[in-house]
């Protein structure tokens, strides 16, 4: 990628979207905390979970192979591959801030689940800690990331069909993964709701941080530092044509 000119990139969030992102972040934090308090150290479903989970388990629970296949995108390797694809796309388009967001969002969100929320809440299902759902967190983190990059950031041109279809498809895939997890009896419905909230909130929080003036200055400095050796190499090639590849 030596020929790519990395730039800090336009802000991740349009100015009009930042208050909404802050409000959404606050809402996600409140939802995850509230559900965590309600279900702390429980090993059973409440009436909402019963109402949602029972028909899904009846409908899809007998097709375990299909459910496993539908849940697979939220597991470690597929989610990592999808994150890497978004990072590469951002680098190819010169959007350094987008690449940082895509690289950090899934590890940060899933790490928050596994490192803090699951041990703290310790809600169990068939003996396994389940709150929040890590698979759902990963998928909605990816969906939120592409939504920010394709729809929420300031656009230089009119929004195209693909810019709408890709985030919509990512959100739909996140919903499919959540349904499969319920059918497999890996998670309660409210686990998946909290997982989605963690993913959405994490992307909102990181986007707001990366749009801060200090973060944008740091990204500008990083892009200039990368550009300096490239400019020096190009100058040397101009002075000594023998260094140019044949």
pLDDT, average across residues 209-234? 72
pLDDT at residue 109, as a whole number: 98
Do 180 and 70 touch, CB atoms closer than 8 A?
A: yes
Domain residue ranges of the chain, discontinuous segments joined by +: 16-218
pLDDT, average across residues 90-105? 93
- How many C-beta atoms lie closer than 10 Å to residue 166's C-beta? 16
pLDDT, average across residues 154-173? 81
Q: What distance in Å separates the CA atoms of residue 69 and residue 49, rounded to the nearest whole number?
A: 23
Q: What distance in Å separates the CA atoms of residue 154 and residue 225, rounded to the nearest whole number?
A: 26
pLDDT at residue 155, as a whole number: 66
In the chain, what is the straight-line distance between the N-terminal and C-terminal CA atoms, in Å? 19
pLDDT, average across residues 134-159? 86
pLDDT at residue 12, as a whole number: 93
Weakest-pLDDT range from 95-99, 144-148, 176-180: 95-99
pLDDT, average across residues 193-211? 97
pTM, to two decimals: 0.87
Provide the mean pLDDT of the chain.
88
Angle between helices 189-210 and 96-112 (to 10 degrees): 140
pLDDT digits (tens, 9 = 90+) for 18-54: 999 999 999 999 999 999 999 999 999 999 999 999 9
- For residue 161, name the pLDDT band (cuts at 50, 70, 90): confident
pLDDT at 125 over 90: yes
pLDDT at residue 7, as a whole number: 57
Percent of the chain whose predicted confidence (pLDDT) is above 70:
85
pLDDT, average across residues 81-102? 94
Do 79 and 142 touch, CB atoms closer than 8 A?
A: yes
- For residue 132, name the pLDDT band (cuts at 50, 70, 90): very high
Token pair 């999808």 in the structure block, residue: 82
DSSP letters spanning the chain: -TT---B--S-SS-GGGHHHHHHHHHHHHHHHHHHHHHHTT--S--HHHHHHHHHHHHHHTT-HHHHHHHHGGGSHHHHHHHHHHHHHHHHHTTBHHHHHHHHHHHHHHHHHIIIIIHHHH--EETTEE-SS-HHHHHHHHHHHHHHIIIIISPPSSPPPHHHHHHHHHHHHHHHHHHHHHHHTTS--HHHHHHHHHHHHHHHHHHHHHHTSHHHHHHHHHHHHHHHHHHHHHHHHHHH-GGGS--
């Amino acid at each position: 990628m030596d020929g790519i000119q990395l730039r800090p990139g336009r802000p991740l969030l349009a100015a009009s979207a930042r208050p909404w992102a802050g409000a959404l972040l606050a809402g996600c934090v409140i939802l995850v905390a509230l559900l965590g308090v309600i279900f702390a150290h429980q090993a059973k479903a409440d009436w909402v979970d019963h109402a949602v989970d029972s028909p899904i388990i009846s409908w899809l629970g007998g097709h375990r192979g299909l459910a496993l296949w539908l849940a697979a995108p939220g597991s470690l390797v597929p989610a990592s591959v999808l994150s890497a694809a978004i990072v590469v796309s951002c680098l190819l388009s010169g959007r350094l801030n987008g690449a940082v967001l895509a690289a950090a969002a899934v590890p940060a969100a899933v790490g928050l689940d596994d490192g803090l929320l699951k041990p703290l809440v310790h809600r169990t299902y068939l003996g396994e800690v389940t709150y929040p759902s890590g698979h759902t967190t990963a998928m909605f983190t990816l969906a939120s990331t592409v939504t920010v990059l394709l729809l929420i950031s300031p656009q230089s041109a009119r929004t195209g069909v693909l810019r709408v279809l890709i985030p919509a498809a990512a959100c739909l895939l996140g919903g499919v993964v959540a349904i499969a997890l319920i059918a497999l009896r890996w998670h309660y419905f409210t686990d998946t709701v909290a997982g989605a909230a963690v993913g959405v909130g994490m992307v909102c929080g990181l986007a707001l941080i990366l749009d801060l003036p200090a973060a944008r200055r740091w990204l500008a400095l990083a892009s200039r530092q990368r550009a300096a050796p490239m400019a020096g190499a190009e100058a040397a090639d101009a002075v000594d044509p023998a260094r140019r590849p044949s």
